[in-house]
Chain A
Amino acid sequence: QTVVTQEPSLTVSPGGTVTLTCASSTGAVTSSYYPNWFQQKPGQAPRALIYSTSNKHSWTPARFSGSLLGGKAALTLSGVQPEDEAEYYCLLYYGGAHWVFGGGTKLTVL
């Protein structure tokens, strides 16, 4: 069974920079996994941030960026705002249209 692993929790200060990662139990994450990233706040539906590794949606704030880093997919927030406090999920594509979510990272802005 494929497992996608994210940091369970991270804390960042307002204005700071933080990188969230997304690792696959099958090996290095590449662009062929088409990493997507989502933000979810309590009681709300997920909101899409990044697709296909590093592409932003029209509504994605400029401070969010996606990349590949050390064999993982990564989401970097630069100049963190208090409203960025949320759960973040990555989603990887494993072929045959099978997708697997990571367990999520709870980001605290403190």
Chain B
Amino acid sequence: DVQLVESGGALVQPGRSLRLSCTASGFTFGDYAMNWVRQAPGKGLEWVGFIRSKGYGGTTEYAASVKDRFTISRDDSKSIAYLQMNTLKTEDTAVYYCSRMAVAGMRVDYWGQGSLVTVSS
């Protein structure tokens, strides 16, 4: 079975950094792009960014709200995608989800259960 498990969420002060992990199992991780999506408390979903598979260059794209502060990377040998978040702001408080995407058909299918990041002093 395909599984995505996020970890690393925590309470962190504004201006600090945090790294989330998304550990995948049940599929060939290296064949898929990985998305990060967040949801602030009581709000809708917001696309954060994504990393292509190595077969498509392994490059990344980001939403304007996080560009230059957040970095997505991947370790295909460990089947893990990472979201490095720097210079955190209170408005980054959210549940962060990773999801799998197949470029063919731009199919977003499996999601993790989410990891809560709270940015507060």
Would A101 and B45 be within 8 Å (CB), given that A45-B97, A46-B97 are in contact?
yes
Contact code string A78-105 (vs B, CB < 8 Å = 1, else 0): 0000000001010101001111111110
**How far in angstroms is the closest Cβ of chain A from B11?**
20
Tell whether, in the assembled complex, residue B44 and residue A48 are in contact, meaning their CB atoms are under 8 Å apart.
Answer: no
Q: A64 within 8 Å of B by Cβ? A: no
Q: B10 within 8 Å of A by Cβ? A: no
> Residues of A contacting B44 with CB < 8 Å?
87, 89, 101-104
For window 46-84 of A, CB contacts with B under 8 Å fall at 46-48, 51-52, 55, 57
Number of B residues near A (Cβ < 8 Å) is 23
Would A48 and B52 be within 8 Å (CB), given that A96-B61, A101-B47, A104-B45 are in contact?
no
Tell whether, in the assembled complex, residue B47 and residue A100 are in contact, meaning their CB atoms are under 8 Å apart.
Answer: yes
Tell whether, in the assembled complex, residue A99 and residue B45 are in contact, meaning their CB atoms are under 8 Å apart.
Answer: no
The distance in angstroms between the C-alpha atoms of A93 and B108, with both chains bound, is 11
Tell whether, in the assembled complex, residue B105 and residue A34 are in contact, meaning their CB atoms are under 8 Å apart.
Answer: yes
A-B contacts, 13 listed (Cβ < 8 Å): A34-B105, A36-B107, A45-B97, A48-B111, A51-B108, A52-B106, A91-B108, A97-B52, A99-B50, A101-B37, A101-B44, A101-B46, A101-B47
